[in-house]
Structure 1
């Protein structure tokens, strides 16, 4: 860490264009980016010095064999490296790689050194071991006849292993379709030997770390205890995730960051306990879904029911992040501020309700994080005094650094070990499974720094991919020779579905075997197929049920017009939505949904109806009034700071309002008139069914009257991009046997405040954005059609009164809505679940 900050100071002395030359593509001048770059470059210098190479030497070779630009980059690096070393010396510290050279020149601490299974040694370490007073003994996992395949330190020789065949039985190798199938094969191989070996006699070697968690979950899910040598990254620790949430809110103060902070399980220990918790989070989610705020201020500028609670929350959150949002010039102060935040969150927290294993894990995470913060707080002043940096930036950098810090798993008794695959060569387990045996993972491709091209590495004499191949070839040979029960699994596709090839180590065989194995790998379809993993024995009955509805008490006596469509589509969904009132809350809303988009447009038109422009026949005047009403409504509902998504939708609404203005004026010129009480009309009327009145309610968008023909028109406004005529949306089926799927317009005709016996037309105003088509669409229905619609409405009313909400429709939506899970839409056993559904909701 000290070297990283020494490099930060050195980089700060470079010109901007010089820093940019050293940085990766897309790099920006920010504190976190500079820390990342410093960490990377200090690591690069350490790697070079481990091989006893100085950056000046690289610059010289780059000038001779590479481009002048490459030479200039390394000259800049050499100068920055000298300054970084100066900063280390001023702080009283020594560069570790230089320290090893001074040690090699003095008397050795140890006279005898044993190298056990060492596969790679840098030149600096070899220099130490070549000291005349040190006796080196190398122990290698290989037969004595293979001594020539290793150097004097026991490291595999790349020139010898490059062409050596590896003896692998074909029966040992299995291809799996994907990462889940690799996990299933691992589980199957263990299960087939369950009677022969105890649980701690199995070891799984991971060639591809991306399948690590999948395999562990499958084994644990099947009741097989596991212990992973990898543990997990400190970056996933709860305390660090809390710090990240605080840092994000400190930087942006936007509503998404506030919601993310509230969702952290430990946030309640930092925020006011009376102002936090699920209820406040729900309030925030409802607020975000309705008002779509980019950020929420301590003084909310628009009207909302949650104003008092949310303003208090914002004030508390801002006080909380104040210490990490301010800039400091000493990173030790930032580290202390972060430590105080953690102490506030966890120091006095009551964890008695948390399971013991989680409490122990939390303590381990806090200790690991405290160790990192302690290293920061103990930096010498010469390094810690840095350019102004915020605590939130330090947290971001800690998060990136923490991804490389493992938290070991707690040992819980005998279990299947999960280790890096090449560690299996020194493992004495009689049963071993290697997974992820794919090219690119085995042999692993080293992550060389882009400043050191392959040709430059070769010119410098740095080890290349051949060293890694030799290491892995030796490891696989040793595993195959020493494991009586071995399975090697390679995947045909990666976790993200990309095609994979088997490891080239599997083809390190004689020519005859090579042809057979390649043919089997690339043409055979005999692989573990994708499957649904069944990790537990089947129960006698399913615990997944679709509860039958109960008859509401008292019976339903009224419905909105739009609810009839839902009953026709699915009685059960109608029950869930209109009787129980179930609805989803979209806590990730970035823009208005379809209903919200239409509702905003309807509200604007309703406001327009109360203006003196209602009778105008000038489109420009009408559209100006509509725009003014829209702007006022948007400001009152969504505030002044709005997201780019909402602004884009508002542009589409303005286009539709312009079309509405043109339609409104044309209808007036054609002799149709309307008035304030005929725009956005809340209408209701009793429909007498079986001598009992039933109230029908609805909001009619527009009613018009034409004096010369004594006609009325009831028009419903449609704002969807998809243009649907009234006939298509209301009736389906063959020409002579159409059935009603929606009763909206016929029921509007029934409840509208229009004198009985009047001539009434119904239709749509289609504001779909298609400017080349007229917006008016009138339904061509006869009196008989309207009569059949009323008959269908009466049938529905009888069913609703009687509590007939079962069974669900066998036709399910092609998309997942908020009720799909309850209705088991995607279950292959849906019909059986419906047949045996219990009545448990009372």
Structure 2
């Protein structure tokens, strides 16, 4: 198509001198089509050994130039004017628009609704209408006359707000431009070139201009079919809505694809076949959701990609930094600092400011540790816990300093100063993505500065939110890399002359484009207002697809990819255009387009990309009591945790984990036991008051006075459990049980097993005042009450793989040890109290009615001997470095912190080279 367009424009050129088109104004549909036209003209002239004086290439909307002296408001100013109008309006006067009051008439509510009304104005403006014109243009029988009348009144109020600021609403400015159409300066000819879908408002401008000078309309289509288009080159609905789509070979040209990834894979395969696909292969993107997968796939294949439609700035690193700063301005939350600390630009600034003494890795580690231990809500709270975390303090102080700067002075001056502070010491290459994004952000700040002169009263956070939204909506345009594969939008494909064209995402709703469920403009009203309807879009897209197929029928190839599901996994329908055919051919097309498709392209079997290679370290000579449970569960996971000291970090942690919750309750019970005046107390209310006061005090020290809702709920659960524990403790003391002194609380011990030293800490040792009996108590704050045997052993399986020393038989049952905590406690105390001591759990479960002591009454010499044998077996295995093979834990195994490291089996995921 560009070649034909260039030839048509140069049809009167005989080759003497340069091709002079400087006096010609050419209207094209998109920027990409304008670029292709200029390239084609240059090639046309170069083929004849000459040059070209290029025409003035413009888009249709470029003709809408507001008359002099009319200052059109920016999008930001218009949004602010609408927001002010909405917040000041008496909603009782506009019940047809606001049948229900919003929950809160905040600025955020007004800004979001303002953006929606701006979009409505823009849609109506396509045909030269404003809100106040709807009732008149729609005529009698409009069912929502009152609603549109009230919307028009709100629009008039918004106009008055803008007028007071010396501004004109943008759509009103466009309408004024249409009414005062001016022939483009310096042009002797005006050509509407292959633009099948100009806005009705632009058509109105061209109609006015055509009264003074002829406007040439050029359509790309078959000779002799001029009646299929109206006088402005738009496909007529009557000619195209029922025309069959003629494809040379439907079966080989239309490809049903399982999903977005399948479509991308097909395009990548074709591109690889060409080697250098530039000029030979073009890719159309009818569904924008397919574009990210295409870009990723082509780049992964080593091919350059160019998207002339631009990239959303939400993907920019600068946008992520600005979003983190917005969160920091909104409130001094620790969560905002965490997000900011994950922006490389912020960390680079901190490192520069610290003069090389700052480690980003150490800072992130300390922040994660601080978060996991204290769950700070604010920067101030977090700073109170940075005594031994200097890198975290540097981050927090840096974030607080930025926040102070962002809140001082006025927006946008403070925003510009903050970014200058962050990037002042860095050299940014001109033309880089960062430089281009920074310039776009500065343009937004200039727009905000102009708006602030007339719209005051917004908070710093509100200004930041507006500016970030405006920045995120904009598009970034990068230079086209050499040899790139262009990802072209649907309306740009008519201007693509590559012999092989692949169109992806040819699904209903995308092609033909469909508008459904519009809250203001249903299809019937669109037709009455002269706006683009679904029928008009259908005719346009039917023409475009027919043109793409016809121009490659003789020499070329067209492939159409139809997705079964969207990127979000939603089912898709094939484009209705593909079903436009003769009745005899329809069954075959339906069968091809709706056939079952279980998978995408024939998939390769899953294959492991690599295996983990752990560092080889000798086994420890000192372990804790709880480490025995780790080894019995999985020797290799024991190695990762106890030898390599691997830990997981939950950056999204928002509440106490099981360890935090247990520590909080344990500390209260320990403190109670260490109060001499309360050791003999049998009054539950007194004990309860002490326990609850201790929990409140400890939680304030660790988590601060401002608690999040999850923390409040968890602390209340701890209070309820401890309140019931106070009753149990009072009952047990009345029955004669109690601690003799501080040595019976949190008693530390060591136990020698072969070459291994076992260390532990016993929560509570109780003595009976009359009998002298001793019992060892361990507090359990799990969700459900548990009995000691159930926590320590399980039944042997038919295909049991546990070592012999972990198995034993008691009372006719074959059992396997899973934990040795209480047996090792008793073993460590055997020299002091003998074998008569018992052990048990003090359960503090969610169901407070189940709170109480559960003793291991059946623990006898048989159990004791089996436990000793198992403990010695674990110690010997650790000493020998026996950490392999691993246990293949069930997929839903609880507390498997390392599950994310292993895929399709632990043993197959690891290249174990440890000692045998």
TM-score interval w.r.t. the shorter chain?
A: 0.7 to 0.9
* 1:225 correspondence with 2:304: yes
Distance 1:92 1:287, change over 3 A: closer
- Mean alpha-carbon deviation: is it higher for 128-137 or for 557-566? 128-137
Distance 1:642 1:107, change over 3 A: closer
Match of 2:378 among 295, 307, 315: 295
User: Offset at 1:634?
Assistant: 0.8
Per the alignment, residue 258 of structure 1 pairs with 337
Match of 2:790 among 699, 705, 728: 728
The residue correspondences of 1:64-143 to structure 2 (distance < 5 A) are 64-67=141-144, 69-80=146-157, 82-83=159-160, 86-87=163-164, 89=166, 95-104=172-181, 110-130=187-207, 131-143=210-222
Indicate the SS of the match to 2:195. coil
Match of 1:567 among 623, 631, 638: 631
Instruction: Answer whether contact 1:5 1:384 (CA < 8 A) is retained.
Output: no
Deviations 1:714-752 (A, max 9, x none): 222211113432222211224632111111111111113
User: Offset at 1:798?
Assistant: 1.3
Indicate the SS of the match to 1:297. helix
User: Offset at 1:110?
Assistant: 4.0
Per the alignment, residue 609 of structure 1 pairs with 673
Instruction: Answer whether contact 1:162 1:469 (CA < 8 A) is retained.
Output: yes
User: Offset at 1:427?
Assistant: 0.8
User: Offset at 1:307?
Assistant: 7.4
TM-score of the superposed pair, with normalisation by structure 1: 0.88
Per the alignment, residue 879 of structure 2 pairs with 801
CA distance in 2, matches of 1:164, 1:492: 25
User: Offset at 1:787?
Assistant: 0.6
Per the alignment, residue 387 of structure 2 pairs with 305
Per the alignment, residue 208 of structure 1 pairs with 287
User: Offset at 1:44?
Assistant: 3.4
CA distance in 1, matches of 2:345, 2:118: 36
User: Offset at 1:602?
Assistant: 0.9
Distance 1:531 1:745, change over 3 A: farther
Per the alignment, residue 789 of structure 1 pairs with 867
Per the alignment, residue 317 of structure 2 pairs with 238
Distance 1:84 1:481, change over 3 A: farther
CA distance in 2, matches of 1:740, 1:632: 39
Instruction: Answer whether contact 2:763 2:777 (CA < 8 A) is retained.
Output: yes
User: Offset at 1:590?
Assistant: 0.6
Indicate the SS of the match to 2:819. coil
CA distance in 2, matches of 1:644, 1:31: 25
CA distance in 1, matches of 2:820, 2:549: 73
CA distance in 1, matches of 2:433, 2:597: 44
Indicate the SS of the match to 2:455. strand
Deviations 1:471-501 (A, max 9, x none): 2222221222233323222222222222222
Deviations 1:494-523 (A, max 9, x none): 222222222222222223333222233334
Instruction: Answer whether contact 1:110 1:134 (CA < 8 A) is retained.
Output: no
Indicate the SS of the match to 1:155. coil
CA distance in 2, matches of 1:527, 1:582: 39
User: Offset at 1:683?
Assistant: 2.7
CA distance in 2, matches of 1:718, 1:767: 6
Per the alignment, residue 751 of structure 1 pairs with 828
Distance 1:744 1:171, change over 3 A: same
* 1:522 correspondence with 2:594: yes
The residue correspondences of 1:298-697 to structure 2 (distance < 5 A) are 305-306=387-388, 313-325=395-407, 328=410, 334-350=411-427, 360-378=432-450, 384-446=453-515, 450-483=519-552, 484-525=556-597, 528=600, 531=603, 543-547=610-614, 549-552=616-619, 556-611=620-675, 612-677=677-742, 680-689=745-754, 694-697=756-759
CA distance in 1, matches of 2:167, 2:310: 38
CA distance in 1, matches of 2:498, 2:908: 47
Deviations 1:407-447 (A, max 9, x none): 12332211221121342232111222222222222222348
Structure 1 alignment gaps of length 5 or more: 329-333
CA distance in 1, matches of 2:155, 2:454: 23
User: Offset at 1:609?
Assistant: 1.1
Distance 1:146 1:87, change over 3 A: farther
CA distance in 2, matches of 1:527, 1:572: 37
Indicate the SS of the match to 1:728. helix
CA distance in 2, matches of 1:92, 1:37: 17
Structure 2 alignment gaps of length 5 or more: 1-72, 797-811
Per the alignment, residue 713 of structure 1 pairs with 775
CA distance in 1, matches of 2:260, 2:570: 11
Q: How many residues align?
A: 811
CA distance in 2, matches of 1:209, 1:92: 31
Deviations 1:319-359 (A, max 9, x none): 3233433585xxxxx233322222222232156xxxx89x8
Q: Which structure ranks higher in relative contact order (CA pairs < 8 Å, sequence separation ≥ 6)?
A: 1
Indicate the SS of the match to 2:558. strand
Indicate the SS of the match to 1:511. coil
User: Offset at 1:63?
Assistant: 8.2
CA distance in 1, matches of 2:205, 2:748: 93
Per the alignment, residue 52 of structure 1 pairs with 128
CA distance in 2, matches of 1:101, 1:494: 40
Indicate the SS of the match to 1:777. strand
CA distance in 2, matches of 1:434, 1:90: 44
Instruction: Answer whether contact 1:284 1:310 (CA < 8 A) is retained.
Output: yes
CA distance in 2, matches of 1:708, 1:336: 79
User: Offset at 1:177?
Assistant: 2.1
Q: CA RMSD in A?
A: 3.4
Distance 1:601 1:802, change over 3 A: same
User: Offset at 1:4?
Assistant: 4.3
Per the alignment, residue 178 of structure 1 pairs with 259
Deviations 1:574-633 (A, max 9, x none): 122112222122222111111111111111111111222232222222111110111111
Indicate the SS of the match to 1:687. strand
Distance 1:269 1:581, change over 3 A: closer
User: Offset at 1:833?
Assistant: 5.0
Deviations 1:8-58 (A, max 9, x none): 346535524268976899685444554554454345334434413243322
Instruction: Answer whether contact 1:62 1:70 (CA < 8 A) is retained.
Output: no
User: Offset at 1:296?
Assistant: 2.2
User: Offset at 1:546?
Assistant: 2.8
CA distance in 2, matches of 1:4, 1:809: 60
CA distance in 2, matches of 1:44, 1:395: 25
Per the alignment, residue 819 of structure 2 pairs with 742
Deviations 1:266-305 (A, max 9, x none): 11455543567332332222111111111121895x5653
Indicate the SS of the match to 1:386. coil
Distance 1:771 1:81, change over 3 A: closer
CA distance in 2, matches of 1:551, 1:626: 44
Per the alignment, residue 331 of structure 1 pairs with none
- Mean alpha-carbon deviation: is it higher for 737-746 or for 7-16? 7-16
Instruction: Answer whether contact 2:364 2:392 (CA < 8 A) is retained.
Output: no
User: Offset at 1:246?
Assistant: 1.4
